[in-house]
Amino acid sequence: MHEEPAVEVHGLVKRYGSKTAVDGLDLTVATGGVTAVLGPNGAGKTTTIETCEGYRRPDAGTVRVLGLDPLADSAALRPRVGVMLQSGGIYAGARAEEMLRHTASLHAHPLDVDALIERLGLGDCGRTTYRRLSGGQQQRLSLAMAVVGRPELVFLDEPTAGLDPQARHATWALVRELRADGVTVVLTTHYMDEAEQLADDVAIVDGGKVIAQGSPEKLCRGGAENTLRFNGRPGLDLASLLKALPADSTAVEPTPGTYRVNGRVDPQLLATVTAWCAQHGVMPDRITVERHTLEDVFLELTGKELRG
Amino acid sequence: MTATGTFAPKPGAAPLGRMIRAQAALETRMLLRNGEQLLLTVVIPTLLLLLFSTVDIVDTGEGEAVDFLAPGVLALAVLSTAFTGQAIATGFERRYGVLKRLGASPLPRWALMTAKTCSVLVTEVLQITLLTAIAFALGWNPHGNPLAVLLLLVLGTAAFSGLGLLMAGTLRAEATLAAANLVFLLLLVGGGVIVPLEKFPDAAQSVLALLPIAALSDGLRDVLRDGAGMPWADLGVLAAWAVLGLGAAGRFFRWE
C-alpha cells in the first residue's frame, strides 16, 4: 500500500533578518511511525517544525502537511494536527484540568479527559493553576493538550526537555502507544537515547539542513566502522582469521596479546571470531564489542565543539 | 506496545458556536479569578463612586454628586475592562505563547477575538449591575433614553478594545502593563470621570473632550443626568476612535 507522506518539506529556507535559520532543508515523514528530528541547539529544528505547524511563512521552498499547505489550508489542517510547543502556551491562571477540558471542548471527538489525566499522572494537580505546576507537570499538560483532540499527526517540540526519568519514561510510553494506534509522531530532541528508543526514522539537522536521515540502526551502521577487541596469547595467525571474516574487515594485534577487529560488527561477525578462537584453542579474554551509538554518529556528523 | 485504540485518530473541530462559548467562558473565568484585574475593574470604580459621592472632595457642580459621578464611573468601568484589563491580559497571553498555542487549535483567530469581546461584555454587565445598584443606594436618579446609553457603552467598548488590543499586540507585556495602568490613571483624572472637564483651562478642555473617555463620560452624563437625546457628537468621537483603534490593531497586532 502506498500512502502519501505525512510531512513533505522541500528546499525550505527561513531567515530571521540576516540570520539563516533553515537553509534548504528537505524532510519527508512517512505516515505512521515516529520521526525524530535531532540536532544541536540552533540547528533549525524548531523553525522547521513551526513552519509545518503554520507559524512561519517559508522564505523559499515548499511544505506540505497531510498533503495540505500549513498556511493556506490552516483551517482544514488544525483540527487534524496536535501541537506541543517547546514551552508555554497556557494561561498562567488556568487550572490543569480546566485547561485540558477546554482544549477537548474545541474538538469534535476528544479523548476521555479523566482517563488522560490519570494516564499522565496529572490527577493530583488537576486543580493547580499552570503557574504553580512543576516544570514536568507543565510539560505533561502540554503533551496532553496536543493529543486530546485525537489528531492524525502530532508535533512534539522537545517533549521531555527537563523531565525526571520517571516522567520521561511515561512520555515515551505515551509516544509508543500513539504510534501503535496509528498516529504519526514528529518530535524534536537533542537526546540521542530518546531518538534511539523511540524513533523509526531519525533526521539529523545541523546548520539548517538535514545532514543524515534513516533508521537509528542504519545511521549507526553508516558512521565509522565498529570495533571488536579481545585478548589472547600473542602472535596468533591473523591471516586465517581475515579469510573467515567479511572482505571489508581488518584484524590487527596493536600490542602483543591484544587484538582488534574492525568492520561491520554484528552477531555473525562475533560468532565467526569466537569460532575461529575455538579452532585455534584460544580463550578470547575480555572480549568487547564497541558499536557506534547514535551519539557517536551525531557527534561525528555535527562536530564536537560547543556552539553558542 | 500493542495498540489499544485509545488514541486512534478521529480528528475534527467542535461546532463554531460551542468553541466560541467555551473560549468566552474560559476568558471570563481567567478575568474574574485574577486579583489585580478585579482591583482595577471592580474595587477602584466602586471605591471612587462611594468616596466621591459621600465626601465632598471635588466640586461636581450643581445637583447631587452621585448624579455627576455615576455616569463617570460607568465610563471608567468600561475603560478598566475593555482597555486596561484586556490590554494587560492579552499582552501576557501573547508573551506566554497562549495566543500562539490557540492559533494551532481548531478555534479560528476571529472566533478567539469574538470570544474575548464576549468576555469583556459579560464582565461589563456584571460591573454595571454592581455600580448601578450602589449608585441607586446613594440616591442616584438617572434619566434619559436607555438606547442612547447602550449605544454609548457599546461604542465605548469598541473604541477601548481597539486601543487595548493595539497596545497588547505591539508592545512587550511589561510595557503594556505599565502603559495601560498609566493611561488608566491619566484618563481617570483628565477624562471627566471624577473631575468635571470645566475645571481645566479652556485650551485643555477642547483637547481633552476628544479623548474617548471624555466622550463616553460626557455622553453618559448628558443622557443620564440631563436627559439629553442622542449625544451624536460624543458617539461620533467614540466611533472615530473605534475605527482607528480596531483598524490599527487589525493591521499591527502580532500574535507572538
- Quick check: A180 contacting B, CB < 8 Å? yes
| Contact present, B224 and B143 (Cβ < 8 Å) | yes
Along the 256 residues of chain B, how does pLDDT read in single tens digits? 567 889 999 999 999 999 999 999 999 999 999 988 999 999 999 999 999 888 877 777 777 889 999 999 999 999 999 999 999 999 999 999 999 999 999 999 999 999 999 999 999 999 999 999 999 999 999 999 999 999 999 999 999 999 999 999 999 999 999 999 999 999 999 998 988 888 899 989 989 999 999 999 999 999 999 998 899 999 999 999 999 999 999 899 998 8
A151: which chain B residues are within 8 Å (Cβ-Cβ)?
A: 9, 11
Is B4 within the bounds of a domain?
no
Q: Residue B211: phi, psi to the nearest 5?
A: -70, 145
The answer for residues whose C-beta is within 8 angstroms of residue B243's C-beta and 6 or more apart is: none
- Quick check: A106 contacting B, CB < 8 Å? yes
pLDDT in tens, A90-149: 999 999 999 999 999 999 999 999 999 999 989 999 999 999 999 999 999 999 999 999
Alpha-carbon span A118 to A292, nearest angstrom: 38
pTM of the model: 0.85
Task: Please tell me whether residue A37 adopts helix, strand or coil conformation.
Answer: strand
Alpha-carbon span B52 to B60, nearest angstrom: 9
Q: How far is CA A49 from the centre of its chain?
A: 13
Is B2 within the bounds of a domain?
no
Is B3 within the bounds of a domain?
no
Q: Strands A81-84, A153-157: parallel, antiparallel or unpaired by DSSP?
A: parallel
Is B5 within the bounds of a domain?
no
Half-sphere exposure of B128 (CA within 13 A, CB side): 18
Q: How many domains does chain B have?
A: 1
B98, closest residue in chain A (CA to CA)? A89
Alpha-carbon span B249 to B166, nearest angstrom: 4
- Quick check: A13 contacting B, CB < 8 Å? no
Is B8 within the bounds of a domain?
no
B256: which chain A residues are within 8 Å (Cβ-Cβ)?
A: 55
Locate B205 and state its grid cell.
Answer: 478642555
- Inter-chain residue contact B101 with A145, CB threshold 8 Å: yes
- Quick check: B29 contacting A, CB < 8 Å? yes
Domain residue limits at B108: 16-52+63-251
Is B6 within the bounds of a domain?
no
- Quick check: A127 contacting B, CB < 8 Å? no
- Quick check: B98 contacting A, CB < 8 Å? yes
Is B11 within the bounds of a domain?
no
Q: Strands A226-231, A81-84: parallel, antiparallel or unpaired by DSSP?
A: unpaired
In chain A, how many H helices and how many E strands?
11, 13
Residue among B106, B122, B83, B95 nearest B249 (CA): B83
pLDDT in tens, A18-60: 999 999 999 999 999 999 999 888 899 999 999 999 999 999 9
Residue among B62, B74, B42 nearest B194 (CA): B74
The ipTM value here is 0.89
Task: Give the residue from A106, A138, A143 with the most B CB atoms within 10 Å of its CB, the best one to mutate.
Answer: A106
A109: which chain B residues are within 8 Å (Cβ-Cβ)?
A: 10-12
The CA distance from A211 to the nearest CA of chain B, in Å, is 29
Is B57 within the bounds of a domain?
no
